[in-house]
Amino acid sequence: MYRPIIKTLWWEDGRLYIIDQRYLPEREKIVELKNIRDVWSSIRNLSIRGAPAIGCVAAYGIALSALKTNIQDREKFIQVITRDINYIKTSRPTAYNLFFALSRMEKVLKERKNITVEELKQRLVKEAEDIYREDIKCCYMIGINGATLIKDGMNILTHCNAGGLATSGYGTALSVFFIAKKQGKRIHIFVDETRPVLQGARLTTWELKKAGIPYTLICDNMAGYLMKQGGIDMVITGADRIARNGDTANKIGTYSLAVLAKYHGIDLYIAAPHSTFDLSIRDGREIPVEERDGDEVRRIKGHLISPVDAPVYNPAFDITPVNLIKGFITENGIINKPVISGK
């Protein structure tokens, strides 16, 4: 029932594999991540991306480095693995799932002080597998819960890629579409191309096509006109981090969509598992927003589209205030109002 449609990342006989998403949709290139540096770079360079998938690959990365070391001394082993956990934390700052997964791996190290290095290694592998399996289940339940909002014939807009490629399972926003389709609902998805890195155009279209869900690709700046024409019934996106009051970080452009949706009286839902909710921070002002290399804006798939030295501002995410969000689709149900008071 929970079997992923796409194998985005997987662990086999102590080896870690991913689909390198930089090559999609042209090529399904599978690569093995052989060490902790490979894991760090694959997250940083977007070979693997999407908040839950980043968390899962990070956890497996720690399991990998635990299995690879020959250190026998328990204290030394804990020291080295803790160093690797802190290293992976520096790969990308915004997606909370990364820190959620790594803090679970850290907890295994801290709680198991009286077991051998060999046992500790097995516990770390098991924790990574638990994180992976839980994500698959969460995705499925997000789909089941979210599908209750979907009516036959709806046109839904999504941004970036919150599908199987962004998780270990069905995805978050896309899981809602996959389950609605399985239930026999006829839906049509508008896909924002999602500049600068084009996760919508390259990845979401690829997944929807595979699933046989009708879709139309639009440039990001077309959403407002489409809404004005009555072409959109609902907006559903994923999230990278949700603060305690419900303010939500997601791919750059989500805030603009939310403002447009509010103006046109269209509901915007955020689909996300518990691992994306950061209850330690009060509101969106505390969410660290990643700024990426200017060449992502100056170039499209390597091809220069501006002066080579054009000054660029390239935040990878924006923060949508909770008052623009109709509700949160989670594995435990739909939260229709902001989570907890911001105080």
Tell me the catalytic residues.
Answer: 240
CB nearer to ligand MRU: pick between 123 and 326: 326
- Least Cβ distance, residue 343 to ligand MRU (angstroms): 27
* Residue 207 Cα distances to 5, 195, 204, 262, 312, angstroms: 9, 18, 5, 28, 31
CB of 166 to ligand MRU, least distance (A): 3
Q: Which C-beta is closer to ligand MRU: that of 78 or that of 173?
A: 173
Query: Cα separation of 166 and 24, whole Å?
Result: 13
CA angle 98, 102, 104 (to 5 degrees): 125
To the nearest whole angstrom, how small is the minimum distance from the Cβ of residue 165 to ligand MRU?
Answer: 9
Closest to ligand MRU by CB, 202 vs 298, is 202
Minimum CB separation from ligand MRU for residue 209, in Å?
A: 19
Residue with nearest beta carbon to ligand MRU: 238
Task: Using the minimum distance from each CB to ligand MRU, give the nearer residue, 77 or 178.
Answer: 178
Which residue, chain included where needed, has tokens 């997987």?
Answer: 10
CB of residue 160 vs ligand MRU: minimum separation in angstroms? 4
Q: Which of 256, 263, 243 is nearest to 340 (CA)?
A: 243
CA distances from 243 to 96, 165, 240, 282, 325 (A): 10, 24, 10, 6, 13
Q: Which is nearer to ligand MRU, 50 or 284 (CB)?
A: 50
Tokens 């760090």 — which residue? 40
Which residues are at the interface with ligand MRU (CB under 6 A)? Answer: 49-52, 95, 160, 162, 166-167, 171-172, 199, 237-240, 250-251, 316
**Long-range contacts of range 325-328, CB-CB < 8 Å, 24 or more positions apart?**
325/246, 325/248, 325/258, 325/268, 325/269, 325/270, 326/267, 326/268, 326/269, 327/267, 327/269, 327/270, 328/242, 328/246, 328/269, 328/270, 328/271, 328/272
